[in-house]
Structure 1
Amino acid sequence: MKIFALLQEGRQYSLVWPVRPELNPVFLENKVIQLTALGFRYLPGLAVLTAFFQLTMLGSGFTGQILAMMLFILSLPLQGWYWLGVRSSTRLPPALINWCRQLHQQMQEQGVETSAVNEPRHYSDLANTLAVAYKQLDKTFMRPWL
């Protein structure tokens, strides 16, 4: 049952994390979230199409291998959610904790309601802080930090 909890946590983390182009060079989350979304959109069709072509070319004698490949293709987006679930509960390195504290302090100085996270410990806390910052602050607040 832990795997389902991790997948759900990864899905929730992907919904909270702000997918912004300026975060691309610093965090892998943007790329994983975008690739996971693309996977959920296009990979089921690709799996069916691949299975159809393999059945017509190879015949029904390779049904086991065809099903295994279909399941692998269909599991790729789930692997993205799994990675995001593990990442969301990973502890932040000290440099990111300090950066998150400074960002939180900047938000308080500008009068932003910062009830999301007081003390950042995990990447999920960073995601909540960044989400609030992107909603409440102007678009240039990240320039000094990156």
Structure 2
Amino acid sequence: MQQTLLEQVRQGRLYVNLWPQRPELIQYFSEYRAVLVSRFVLKHGAALALLAFLMPILFIGIEQLKQSIVYSLFIGSLPVQALFLMNKKSKEKLPLSLANWYKSGVERLKAQNNESELVVNNPSFLDLAKLLNISYSQK
């Protein structure tokens, strides 16, 4: 099933927002580093693009206008690129070791009588983010 560009951006934002903001996750999940970078770019991307546009013009002169436009367009596109990459990552299936850990986590949640709609077969990174979000919101 093909997603539109807007749906892909929304899925990427959902994936980024589902990850709990916990510093200990960086030790266990390498994907969390990409989530942190995406959050930074989403938060500060527009300001960095404006800075990349203004700095060469202010310090070198108006003859740098073309380069300033190119730099600012590139930096301004980074938030959208990050969301597309997060969308792609959210659809990837978990590696076997992480999938086993995920399944045991889902079983623990079900043992606590938590009625969640977590997938057990072929979990993706989006499912992992959902599990971590549910787990940390219960604490």
TM-score category, normalised to shorter length = 0.7 to 0.9
Q: 1:42 to 1:115 in 2, by over 3 A?
A: closer
Do 1:120 and 1:126's aligned partners in 2 also have CA atoms closer than 8 Å? no
Q: CA RMSD in A?
A: 2.2
**CA distance in structure 2 between the partners assigned to 1:86 and 1:29 by the alignment:** 12
**CA distance in structure 2 between the partners assigned to 1:67 and 1:81 by the alignment:** 22
Q: 1:64 to 1:73 in 2, by over 3 A?
A: same
**CA distance in structure 2 between the partners assigned to 1:25 and 1:129 by the alignment:** 17
TM-score w.r.t. the length of structure 1 is: 0.78
Do 2:94 and 2:125's aligned partners in 1 also have CA atoms closer than 8 Å? yes
The residue aligned with 1:64 is 66
The residue aligned with 1:32 is 34
What secondary structure sits across from 2:24 in the alignment? helix
User: Gaps (5+ residues) in structure 1?
Assistant: 139-146
Q: Deviations over 1:39-91 (max 9, x none)?
A: 23333223223322211333333322111100111122223222211110011
Do 2:15 and 2:86's aligned partners in 1 also have CA atoms closer than 8 Å? yes
Match of 1:6 among 5, 8, 19: 8
Residue 3 of structure 1 deviates from its aligned partner by 4.2
The residue aligned with 1:143 is none
- Aligned counterparts, 1:103-122, within 5 A: 103-122=105-124
What secondary structure sits across from 1:11 in the alignment? helix
- Aligned counterparts, 1:1-146, within 5 A: 2-136=4-138, 138=139
Partner amino acid, structure 2, of 1:82 = F
Paired residues, what number?
Answer: 137
Partner amino acid, structure 1, of 2:41 = G
Single out whichever of 69-78 and 36-45 deviates more from structure 2: 36-45
Do 1:101 and 1:120's aligned partners in 2 also have CA atoms closer than 8 Å? no
User: Gaps (5+ residues) in structure 2?
Assistant: none
Single out whichever of 44-53 and 100-109 deviates more from structure 2: 44-53
**CA distance in structure 1 between the partners assigned to 2:126 and 2:80 by the alignment:** 19
Q: Deviations over 1:84-131 (max 9, x none)?
A: 111100111111111111111111222222323343421111112222
Identity of aligned residues (%): 28
